[in-house]
Amino acid sequence: MKIAIDGPAGAGKSTIAKKAAKELGFIYVDTGAMYRAMAVHMLRSRVDAGDEAGIENACGSADISIAYEDGAQHVYLNGDDVTGLLRTEAVGDMASRVSQVQKVRDRLVALQQKLASEQSVVMDGRDIGTVVLPDAELKIYLTASAHVRAMRRYLELKEKGTDPLPDPEAIEADIQERDFRDMNREHSPLRQAEDAYLLDSSELTIDEVAGRILALAKERTEA
């Protein structure tokens, strides 16, 4: 079974997707980690971040998969566990570059579809229900008001002890700007799939949102 969760930044997609996957016994496919693994591949292949042709040539030889061992996610690149390398600054910088190359996006979509064809998955992102898994049995468009998403981010940064702490209004403006970019980008813009269930989490707890998704998944499996 395939569950696709799409929505704007700050809607809680990853948190909800991980929780739902754990409850269902499915694999949570962290698409962001897959882009970082692709970045590791580029660094190992000594491809310059500004060499788009080199990136396009190298991405075809990257085989990336995700597995769970003792409840922890492990990301494999060509059979090598690269989980411990994904959060370095160099990998993060390269990931932001390679994610802009359409051929890389196409390659990762193919790998994500391969994962979903082999096991039951919950996958979240911006274009999962529309591009990556258009045949998903359950599609969720998870959203919340820009104000609520900004306050969630503000409280998260405050809890982490971020200093200086950004102004909530500035965070909300950034979120609105990102929404506009995501919804108007040339490739795979953010939009609700026609057959997706709209779920607004503005006034719901994490458990309430996950509960609704689990109930919908149960309906699909019993249908």
Burial class (CB in 10 A: 0-12, 13-18, 19+), 177: exposed
Would you state the pLDDT for residue 70?
80
Would you state the pLDDT for residue 187?
76
Distance, in Å, from the CA atom of 202 to the CA atom of 28, rounded to the nearest integer, reads 23
Per-residue buried b or exposed e for 100-114, using 16+ beta carbons within 10 Å of the residue's own CB: ebebbbebbbebbbe
* Full-model pTM: 0.82
Task: Give me the residue label for tokens 């698409």.
Answer: 31
What count of other Cβ atoms lies within 10 Å of the Cβ of residue 55? 24
Q: 66, 57 in Cβ contact below 8 A?
A: no
Would you state the pLDDT for residue 47?
96
Would you state the pLDDT for residue 10?
85
Residues with Cβ within 8 Å of residue 221, at least 6 apart in sequence: 1
Q: Do β-strands 64-69 and 197-200 pair in parallel, antiparallel, or remain unpaired?
A: unpaired
Distance, in Å, from the CA atom of 11 to the CA atom of 149, rounded to the nearest integer, reads 6
Would you state the pLDDT for residue 62?
96
Would you state the pLDDT for residue 40?
98
Distance, in Å, from the CA atom of 140 to the CA atom of 159, rounded to the nearest integer, reads 29
Tens-digit pLDDT string for the chain (223 aa): 999 999 998 898 989 999 999 999 999 998 889 999 999 999 999 999 999 999 999 999 999 999 888 878 899 999 999 999 998 888 988 998 898 899 999 999 999 999 999 999 999 988 899 999 999 999 999 999 999 999 998 998 899 888 898 999 999 998 999 888 888 877 778 899 999 999 999 999 999 999 999 999 999 888 7
Residues with Cβ within 8 Å of residue 38, at least 6 apart in sequence: 59, 62, 64, 95, 98, 104, 107, 108
Would you state the pLDDT for residue 9?
83
